Structure 1
Amino acid sequence: MNDRYVLDSTWKDTVLHKFEYKKKLAKSRHDQLFRVFDEALTEEERFLLQMLYAYMPLNDLADYNGELFLSHVRTTLEIRGLVPWGKSVPEHLFVHFVLPYRVNNENIEDSRGLLFKQLFKRVKGLGLTDAILETNYWCHERATYTGNDPRTVSPLTLMRTTLGRCGEQSTLAVAALRSLGIPARQCYTPRWAHCDSNHAWVEAWDGQSWRFLGACEPEARLDQGWFKAPAARAMLVNTRVPSNYPGPEEITLAHPWYTEINLLNQYAPSKTIKVNAVYPDGTPAAAKISFQLYNFAELSTIVTKQSDAALQVSLTTGFGNLYIHAASDTAWNSMLINPADGDEFTIYLTSEQEIDGLVQEFDMVPPLPAAESAKENVPEHEQLRNNERIQDGARIRSAYEATFMSEEETARLAEKLSLPADRVWAVISKARGNSHELALFLQEQTPLHGNWPLKLLESLNAKDLTDTFRPALNDHLSGSLPFLEQHGPEIFASYLLCPRIHYEMIVPYKQRFQQSFTQEDQAHFREEPQTLYDRIAGEYEIIEDMNYFNGSSTPIGSFELLKGDRLCLHIMLTAAARSLGIPARLHPDDRWPQYWSSGIWTDVQFAVSSGDDASSALQGPSSGYIQLIRDASASEQEAVYSNNFTLARWEEGLFKTLTLPFGKKDGFDLPIEVLKGRYRLTTGTRLQDGTAMVRLTYFHVQAGETTEVGLIFRKKDAEIPVLGTADEAMKTALFLPEIQLDQAVESYGAVVAWIEPDREPSKHLLRELRELSDEFDEWGGPIVLAAGEDKLTASFALYRDTSLPRQASFHKDRRYSGLNALTDSLDISPSLEFPAVLVLDTEDRIRYFSTGYKLGIGREVLDIARKMK
């Protein structure tokens, strides 16, 4: 392969053409973005900067200035000259996997040089493989896993807070590796097939090939990690490259502004299938085909592909069921397939489908677990050294966390400011490394404005408290208080004072919007809010599919660029309204902009230009109602939104899931207000092997009417197998001498789990136990959590975790005697993955067993335990 093949004249011409297009697109921010090209640039600097602009998403054109990107290019080139492997990295890897400044949807900061200064002294003198491993140890010292909202924080924010989800951990690790000139990329399985959620990890180039690693979760060697077994059941593993990337990997999606490549072959058994969409008479159809999995109780798209010149779509995928949805301009259809059944599939599209009242039932069967293979024989001294490094990393992280404001310090601050200590601690504790910044904000503003600075902080999401600073907080406080007397305190706090609208980055914007309109205009807008939306939307151009993630621009960035996707427009309009004293929000279900008028929420009605069709009109929605009718005789399952059922509305040729509160399980006896239109109710029952028993119900909602829909779940097999028996020796080993549980077990049974408290799979289990705490308390049986001493780190805090069920207790299984007894009893491999979870019934029989990563274990265990009681 020619190392410089991407820099031939044709490829360069494409970059320059796209760069010129972006210049025209961003002409309203020309000076902020493009004046850096007037500086004295080398030919290489100029081209690499042009490449960044050529493939830059719209939100980056809206939110950042050229100085940031020029600094990034110059720092990257300087680093390439300093690291020993810099000149040996092939040019195509450098421009695609070292140069990019963005990894996910994080806030962009000029961090490459800062990361390099911290890391280079630790990898200087190492080869590439050892440098990759050392970088991950450094990442582990700075962050560990926690679940949180979808907004990805920047690497610097993650380092400030030390807690992040896998997408944020892998963003940090990729940024750290690239800051050393090491090609790196974030890998995702968009959705698991065998359980809910997804996962992200990292691949890095070791000088010969791509190797994988768990971000912030070091192993002694590369190509290891707890996710290796679940990844062997994946249906797609991909990464996004910000360019027209030419390979050599399979291209899943060749988008004009980015490329998604398929990495599945490295992780799971796979094959390439072809799908043909045809009309009833057999005529081939040009169609978009979405490949979907059952996940979070919806049919979730893992990739959508447009048919090629041969009017086919191909995909390399795993050996599990896929639900495919195909749509042309005039027709559509859906069907269930299994790649094991053939190499080519045909789906027949039709425009005449009477589906209202239709009920479909089918099973979504995931790929089988991979057969256990011989693990790489890592020498014991390497394993011990890795454990020592993990322990050291946790101590370093804990020492930094000790610099966060304590509850005692917070109480003194609250007393000084005459604020409720519990409320102040609620926000300060969530701010973590940003706690001192928020304390200064309260110190400066509370004497002037009483409780309102605290109420502003309370209006934010937990993650906002970690990366929102005083300039933004001061802007939103001072920009909102003039309207305090015009509305009730609840409306004012939530829909005027609060800067959070969706998942965009919070920045100062209220004074900027206020300065953009005369006092007379502002007064007119408050009298007639619709006129504000008309004014701004009339100047805005909707351009879809040019942001990696919809709604990513800040409100002020969208206002300055006057271009972006529809969600960015809705966010910006809502921010402008709040800035001018008009309570505003996005509708919780469909994110349509609304304003508060005469005591009710009013839908915005407006027309905007969209691409070349300047006359396209967006009319305000009309509402109807869905009344879910629970048939108690049909199933014993508790209805939990996004756990076992969802509602989806037909929009633009696809059913799109409504954004009702995640985990909601009450209030469904009342009608749900929705837009009129065609809907689909999805219910699912997940079996222990990962199979989902799916039921789809189609119906129509008319404006002003209520549609009743049966909320019915397919039943599991009621028989719970007996997997083994815990004899006296095993019980003694399981429960350890200091735990007296015989009487409790005889009454309730027991749940026993061996965990790695500092690893993501065990943290998911603990989170589920917390979320189901009340229900486990109602059950009343013991929950024994055990871990070996080699799995405990300085960040372990379960001893004082009062959010777990009351009957949960933690114990050290020092020599793994309990775990060894279990593996002997069940005749399973002693090298099983954590968490290892079992349920005992009242007769000491093992009725449930799970090992390794899987979401939903908590509810499975609860269901079994209830039946055993």
Structure 2
Amino acid sequence: MFSFEMEQQIEGEFERLLPLVGNRREAILCGLGELPAQEAIVMKFLYTKMTLSDAGNYSFDIFLDYARHGIFLWNRGNYKDKLPLELFLNYVLYHRVNEEEITQCRSFFYQQLSGRVEGLGMKEAVLEVNYWCAEEVTYHSTDERTMAPMAVYKTGYGRCGEESAFTVSALRSIGIPARQVYVPRWSHCDDNHAWVEAWCDGTWYFIGACEPEPVLNRGWFTNASSRAMLAHSRWFGGIPSGEEITERDGMAAVFNTLSHYGRTREVEVQIIDKAGKPVEAAEVEFEVLNYAEFFPVAALLTDPAGKVRITLGLGSIHLHAHKDGQLADRTIDTREKGDFIICLGEDRRENAWIDFDIIAPEEQPVNISALTKEQELSGVRRMREAIGKRLAKMEAACAGTRAKERILKDQAGKGLEEILKKSISNYGELGKFLLEEPEGARQDKEALLGVLSEKDYRDCKGSVLWEHFRDAIKYAGQLERGIFIHYVLNPRIYFEPLTQYREFINGFYTEGQKQLFREKPALIWEDIHGKIKEYPEREYSHLVTTPAACLSMGAGSLLSKKILFVAVCRTLGIPARIKDEDLSIEYYGEGQFKPVGNPDTATAALKLQPAKEGESWIYFTNWSLAVLEGESYRSLKLAKEEWEQEGMELRLMPGNYRIITTKRLLNGNLFAKEYYFTLQEGERKEVCLQSRDIKLRDMLTRYPLPDFEVTGEEGEAIGARDLVRSRMNLFIWLEEGKEPTEHILNELYEHKEAFQELDGGIFFMVRDRAAPENPTIKRTLSAIPGIRTCYDATDENAERISRRMYVEPGKLPLILVTDQLSGIYAVNGYNVGTADLLLRIFAEHR
């Protein structure tokens, strides 16, 4: 596999790695000593390219499974003769996709797939693998921890990041290079997305993970991806050839893939000082306004001429440049010709609201794969078959859960049923924990389960839960119960992998050290800070090193060290936590949580008030607050703070702050305001939150819609083009009996005279013939005789149209206004005054 020169390079890098892995060194060298030469050099390659956290968190045998399967594919895989070595090493052999947990999976996936792809070309195999993925997994929104691909397979659910890591792993298992592509923040809506690219015969193609299509380069996100300002992928352990690097994150090189999806432009930005001289090595952060905050999507250092170059979509992006305490902020529009010059240290206007617009790129996809009618029908049929197989799999898993539930019910209390149901196929691991002695501790065991997340139920190990319970239960009577359960018994500290660590920690420290730590918990942090070294160049910021691995290697990131602090505290019976708001660490003593280290004290206050009575302010929806830390702004996590009718008061540290307020238009653009201010020690400042006014014409857009099909009163199939005979049309997909649908129907009824006179068609879309008998629907149909009822038995049309109009899919009612077959306005759910707004739209557009 490797040339002599490459083997020499790998050997050299491996020797330089060994001093960094601490006590893991012996296990790694022992394992290597038992391997034949080819397996040993491949294992050394993997170790030299992985993060220190991977080397510490996972066993030698896990990586050996990846190495052996990779060697098998290189020697005997179906596509071995087509693959360049560089791509094979990083996109077939390599174990990591992004930030998922690592378990053995490749050889298992190969066993499931090898028969299905036998004899297929690379493109056909990619399509077939994605149909298999759809048979096994579907989308489910969860927390930000990324489960291992095998756990996703077993439970049948994953968010898009997990679905894409699963699909990439499945493709790599049969020898097809694959990578995850990620838009960290969309530019046209408040969300993000991840999908998959697969390399076939010299070209990269994209697919929606677990969302198969009959052809490559096709997905619901085809249009959306062309509206991004940046899309990227990752390469671990080096720099990929021929790619545009947008950021270095330790062992990961982040590179730009946007040109695969939409129209782009190379932008040149020059940073100068007040004297007009170029500033070398200034950092320029490129930020997308999303969820009402500036979110960094790339970071580059200027060259000797003070310049950086980057390929971006055609729209607005915010730049934050800084060096040596000098800052500059500017929003640029990449549609403008010419380059951009930014001066560090320019005076910023404080204590004043400043308006600015953010323009989202227009839809201009560069890779469009149209379907023939035969392909469309085949795709629908195969997708329904895949859904049927997945539902059968999940039903079997649930049946097993119900059987286990009956076994455990008498022994584990009444609150267990819902937890077992959420665990899906992982109920056996929960059962091991619950049925373990002692029997009299069932309430405490259920209390431990009660603080875990739904995702934890689906992939935790019974042995891990038992170790935490066994070593913590002795402290139960020494603390207030809520404090004990959440901050001592709880195995979950942050979003780290759940692992055993209490026995290891107890054995790591002497009895004298542990007694001293209990008397002075702050000494634990001093000990960790002194023992555990940070090697950011050998890490990846999205990963953490588990507590036992931190101590074993003597290495870990700052966040890993904070997790270790909490782990040591809880092991010793000291309640401790990481605060969500700022990731600071605290321990509990004398009836309160106490900060560790030398944190700044919140000696200032900010009173926020609405500028307009009754205006709704929702954090990370239409406003955010950021503090300047070092030379960059960090958004505060205030989701737990409640906005009262009269406003909100916050205790804050003295410093420099920025408020952003936003209003998103249907075309994806944002009307925004920003407000910079400084808080002095002891100061109490009052600020009225302001937002931009939106005119009705700003709310309208024009997106060509797909010609969808529904069923008429006589059971006949009707295409949308046959329905939109009027210029203006109103379509409403209803969910009878549900409160949002009831509200919009009541508003239509209240405005029945106006809707009777409406110059346009009105169509109610319902699932079946029982729906029009719903009393509220029936009353509305009687009051507005011109409404035509159509039947749409599935969610496919509503979901496609929601995505096309860039509103939230899967949420009803879906309200759509069209000009012929072009959507000009859409909203889902219910907002007060929707009916009045619809009447205004018809009047304005006419």
After TM superposition, the score normalised by the length of structure 2 is 0.84
Tell me the residue number matched to 2:608.
629
Answer yes or no: is the 8 Å Cα contact 1:72–1:110 preserved in 2.
yes
What's the counterpart of residue 326 of structure 1?
321
Q: Deviations over 1:239-276 (max 9, x none)?
A: 10113234223233356633222111111000101111
User: What aligned pairs does 1:684-723 form with structure 2 within 5 A after superposition?
Assistant: 684-703=662-681, 705-717=683-695
Structure 2: any 5+ residue segments left out of the alignment? 703-707, 717-728, 749-762, 772-779, 781-788, 840-846
Q: Which residue of 2 aligns with 1:140?
A: 134
* Contact 1:36 1:70 (C-alpha < 8 Å) held by counterparts: no
Counterpart amino acid of 1:316? T
Q: Contact 1:751–1:837 (CA<8 Å) still a contact in 2?
A: no
Q: Which residue in the other structure is 1:248 paired with?
A: 242
Give yes or no for contact 1:102–1:108 (8 Å, CA) kept in 2: yes
Moved more, 18-27 or 283-292: 18-27
User: Which letter does structure 1 place at the counterpart of 2:695?
Assistant: D
> Structure 1 residue 485 and structure 2 residue 480: aligned?
no
Match of 1:616 in 2: none
Instruction: Determine which of 384, 390, 393 is the counterpart of 1:391.
Output: 384
Code of the aligned partner of 1:604:
V
The answer as to whether partners of 1:628 and 1:711 remain within 8 angstroms in 2 is no
**Any idea what SS the aligned residue of 1:322 has?**
strand
2:577 is matched with 585
Q: Distance in 2 between matches of 1:146 and 1:163?
A: 6
Q: Contact between 1:751 and 1:782, CA under 8 Å: does it hold in 2?
A: no
CA shift, 1:815, in A, is 11
Deviations 1:735-754 (A, max 9, x none): 9999xxxxxxxxxx997249
- Residues 446, 452 of structure 1: 8 Å contact kept: no
State whether structure 2 residue 31 is matched by structure 1 residue 31: no
- Check 1:244–1:148 CA distance in 2 against 1; reply closer, same or farther (3 A cut): same
**1:206/1:532 CA distance change after superposition, 3 Å:** same
1:404 aligns with 2:397: yes
Q: Are residues 817 and 158 of structure 1, via their aligned partners in 2, closer, same or farther at CA, if it must alter by over 3 Å?
A: closer
2:197 equivalent to 1:219: no
In structure 1, what is the equivalent of residue 303 of structure 2?
A: 308
For 1:295-694, what aligned pairs fall within 5 Å after superposition? 295-350=290-345, 353=347, 356-370=350-364, 376-405=369-398, 409=403, 412-413=406-407, 415-417=409-411, 419-420=413-414, 423-445=415-437, 447-544=439-536, 546-550=538-542, 552-605=544-597, 619-633=598-612, 637-661=615-639, 669-694=647-672
Cα deviation for residue 700 of structure 1 reads 2.8
1:86 is aligned to 80
| Contact preservation (8 Å) 2:412, 2:434 | no
Contact preservation (8 Å) 1:628, 1:668: no
Q: Report the CA distance between 1:296 and its aligned residue.
A: 1.2
CA change 1:191–1:99 in 2 (3 A) is same
Q: What per-residue deviation string (whole Å, max 9, x for no partner) do you get for residues 802-833 of structure 1?
A: xxxxx9xx9842699999xx99xxxxx99x99
Native 8 Å contact 2:245 2:253 kept in 1 = yes
Report deviation, 1:332: 1.2
For residues 92 and 596 of structure 1, do their structure 2 counterparts lie closer, same or farther at Cα, with a shift above 3 Å needed? Answer: same
Name the SS of the counterpart of 2:603 in structure 1.
strand
Cα displacement (A) at 1:14: 5.9
Aligned partners of 2:404, 2:650: CA distance in 1, in Å? 41
Deviation at 1:436, TM superposition (A): 3.1
Residue 267 of structure 1 is matched in structure 2 by 261
TM-superposed deviation, 1:647: 1.5
- Does residue 236 of the first structure (1) align with residue 230 of the second (2)? yes
Provide the C-alpha distance between the structure 2 equivalents of 1:557 and 1:850, rounded to a whole number of angstroms: 57
Question: Alignment partner of 1:224: what SS?
Answer: coil
Whole-angstrom CA distance in 2 between matches of 1:335 and 1:310: 20
Give the drift of 1:594.
0.3
Provide the C-alpha distance between the structure 2 equivalents of 1:187 and 1:816, rounded to a whole number of angstroms: 27
Q: Distance in 2 between matches of 1:700 and 1:490?
A: 38
Q: CA deviation at 1:108?
A: 0.8
Give SS of 2:263's match: coil
What's the offset of the Cα at 1:446?
7.1
Separation of aligned partners in 2, 1:508 and 1:342: 57
Q: CA deviation at 1:705?
A: 4.8
1:449-483, CA deviations, whole angstroms, 9 ceiling, x for partnerless residues?
Answer: 03011110111111111111111110111111111
CA-to-aligned-CA distance 1:497-551 (integer Å, 9 cap, x gap): 1111111111111222122233443333222211222223221113335432345
Residues 667 and 138 of structure 1: is their aligned pair in 2 closer, same or farther, counting only changes over 3 Å?
A: farther
Cα pair distance change 1:256/1:673, threshold 3 Å: closer
Distance 2:330 2:343 in 1: 9
Residue 787 to residue 439, structure 1, CA distance change in 2 (3 Å):
farther
| Alpha-carbon separation, structure 1, partners of 2:766 and 2:134 | 20
Question: C-alpha separation between the residues in 2 aligned to 1:677 and 1:73?
Answer: 51
2:17 to 18, 22, 35: 22
- Residues 165 and 52 from structure 1, CA distance in 2 versus in 1: closer, same or farther, beyond 3 angstroms? same
- The counterpart of 1:752, out of the listed 721, 729, 732, is 732
- The equivalent position to 1:75 in structure 2, one of 61, 69, 74, is 69
For 1:829-868, what aligned pairs fall within 5 Å after superposition?
857-858=827-828, 864=834
User: What's the offset of the Cα at 1:86?
Assistant: 1.4
Residue type at the aligned position of 1:642: F
Q: Describe the shift of the 1:558–1:35 C-alpha distance in structure 2 as closer, same or farther (beyond 3 A).
A: same
Shift, 1:776, TM fit: 7.1
What is the CA–CA distance in structure 2 between the aligned matches of 1:847 and 1:599, rounded to whole Å?
64
Residues 1:190 and 2:187 aligned together: no
List alignment gaps of at least 5 residues for structure 1: 606-618, 725-729, 739-748, 755-765, 790-797, 799-806, 824-828
Structure 1 SS opposite 2:335: helix
Task: Determine helix, strand or coil for the equivalent of 1:159.
Answer: helix
Structure 1 residue 87: Cα displacement: 2.5
Q: Tell me the CA shift for residue 128 of structure 1.
A: 1.1
Distance 1:723 1:516 in 2: 63
Identity %: 27
Alpha-carbon distance change, 262 to 851 in structure 1, aligned in 2, over 3 angstroms: farther
Give the distance between the partners of 2:502 and 2:764, measured in 1 at CA: 49
Shift in Å, 1:862 = 6.2
In 2, the alpha carbon distance for the partners of 1:714 and 1:173 equals: 43
SS in 2 for 1:538: helix
Q: Does 1:150 align with 2:140?
A: no
RMSD: 3.9
1:257 alignment partner in structure 2: 251
* Cα distance change of structure 1 residues 495 and 837 upon mapping to structure 2, 3 Å threshold: closer
CA displacement at 1:418 relative to structure 2: 6.1
CA contact 1:188–1:200 (8 Å) conserved in 2: yes
Q: Could you tell me how far apart the structure 2 residues matched to 1:241 and 1:46 are?
A: 23
Amino acid at match of 2:23: S
